[in-house]
Amino acid sequence: MKIAIGSDHAGFRLKETIKNSIAGVEFVDAGAHSEESTDYPDHIGALSRLVQRGEADRGIGICGTGIGASITANKFSGIRAALCTNVFMAEMSRRHNDANVLILGARVTEESEAVAITRTWIETPFEGGRHQRRLDKIAAIECGG
């Protein structure tokens, strides 16, 4: 699996921790590349475009709270970004919403919890069925329906 991952300066350390803690995944790093101040829309936008174009299977975005990253990623057509603060939310975001971008808040989520959230999100499949019908309705809204 190829996952685009990006953060601002606040999420840089957590981004690096996740990249080094999750085996069996090819990470495409959309920045930031240090803790020097940067703007989350630049990096979250870059990872969202990679997912949108099919150059990455999924994406992970990280900022201080996850709120700005979530707002940014969800501006992109076809992106279903879920801000997850615990393992249950990560599981449900995949099972019921087929979230293709995981959003984490580096300043509000403990590192070990963020890694557990990420593992769960990567490993959990989409259930389809009635949930697909709902995703189709969301896609119609994106197209102006």
Question: What domains, with CATH codes, occur in the chain?
Answer: 2-142 (3.40.1400.10)
Torsion of CA 74, 129, 125, 80, to 10 degrees: 0
Catalytic residue among 9, 33, 43, 96: 96
Give yes or no: 33 in active site.
no
Catalytic residue among 9, 33, 43, 63: 63
pTM for the structure as a whole: 0.96
Mean pLDDT throughout 43-65? 98
Segment among 31-35, 44-48, 119-123, 140-144 with least mean pLDDT: 140-144
What is the band of 145 on the pLDDT scale with cuts at 50, 70, 90? Answer: low
d(CA 128, CA 95): 8
d(CA 49, CA 41): 12
Give yes or no: 43 in active site.
no
